[in-house]
Amino acid sequence: MALARRVADVDFREGTQGADAAAANTHAMSGRKSNGQQQTCPQAYQATQDQLLQDVDSEELAKALHTIQDSTSPAHRGFQAIRPPS
C-alpha cells in the first residue's frame, strides 16, 4: 500500500503538472522543449524512455511506475500534448 500511495503522489510533486517536456514525459505525454517547440510523439517516447531509465537508476521507483501506469491510460495514449490544469 505504501508504494501505491507514493506512485499516486507523483501527481502532487512540485513541477509535475507543467507543460514542459520533463513534466509531460513523467506522465507519458509530450511537452514543450526548451526551444519552445512541442515534442513530436517519437521525441516524447524516447525522452520518456530515457527518463524511466534515469528514474530506475536513481531509485525513483514510484516515479518510474507512475510513468508506466500513465502510459496505459487512454487519456495519455500516443504521447499526446499535455494540457496543464487551468
CA–CA separation, 47 vs 39, rounded Å?
9
Is the pTM higher than 0.85? The answer reads yes
pLDDT at site 85: 63
CA–CA separation, 2 vs 13, rounded Å?
16
CA–CA separation, 34 vs 20, rounded Å?
8
pLDDT at site 82: 82
The pLDDT tens digits for 28-77 are: 999 999 999 999 999 999 999 999 999 999 999 999 999 999 999 998 88
The pLDDT tens digits for 14-41 are: 989 999 999 999 999 999 999 999 999 9
Give residue limits of the domains in the chain: 2-79
pLDDT: is 84 or 42 the higher one? Answer: 42
